[in-house]
Amino acid sequence: MLNADNATKPIRLIERVEKYKGHVITVYEDHVDIGGHDAYWDYIHHNGAAAVLPVTDDGKLLLVRQYRHALGRYTLELPAGKRDGDEDFLVCATRELEEETGCRADSFEYLLTVNTTVAFLDEIIYIYIARGLHSGQVHWDEDEELGVEEWSLEDLIRMIREGEMTDSKTVAAIMAYAATGSAQER
């Protein structure tokens, strides 16, 4: 059982040292004081992202299949991408939907927000439902090659339960969509 005293110890940042700056993340080493004890924690900053759960008029969900180098395999995911600077999350979601699927949407509805890995990463992803899909223009990044696939909610939930789908933003969005009754509101 958690000791309440330990859960409320004051934590103070003493120093943050940048160790690496990439195109998507910046890695820091933080020196912190935890109730009188020194500790060193890894901290990764990400500028945030937006993702979209596109729903067709007949209730199918559009997902993208893409290669993820860190996993060494293809994954099935929501269309998503990082924000440009301090870009509005909905603007980012709108852009990513068209870039990755070639679709535009008549309406977007906020679904949920997720922090992907709270132990060491501050990435936040705003996730929206997109409806009223119609043709737009695909604009893949140079390092992207995506396949757009249509799925039933039932098949995706089965894949989640069987461990075939593990992308956290996608799993969270599909389960939230199913739980909110949004799937029945077509």
Task: Show which residues are catalytic.
Answer: 142
- Tell me which H or E stretch contains 123: none
Contacts 24+ apart (CB under 8 A), 24-31: 24/82, 25/121
The residue ranges of DSSP E strands in the chain, in sequence order, are 11-21, 25-34, 37-46, 49-54, 61-68, 73-77, 80-82, 103-115, 124-135, 147-151
Tokens of 41: 């924690």
DSSP state of 43: E
- As a whole number of angstroms, the distance between CA 31 and CA 141 comes to 37
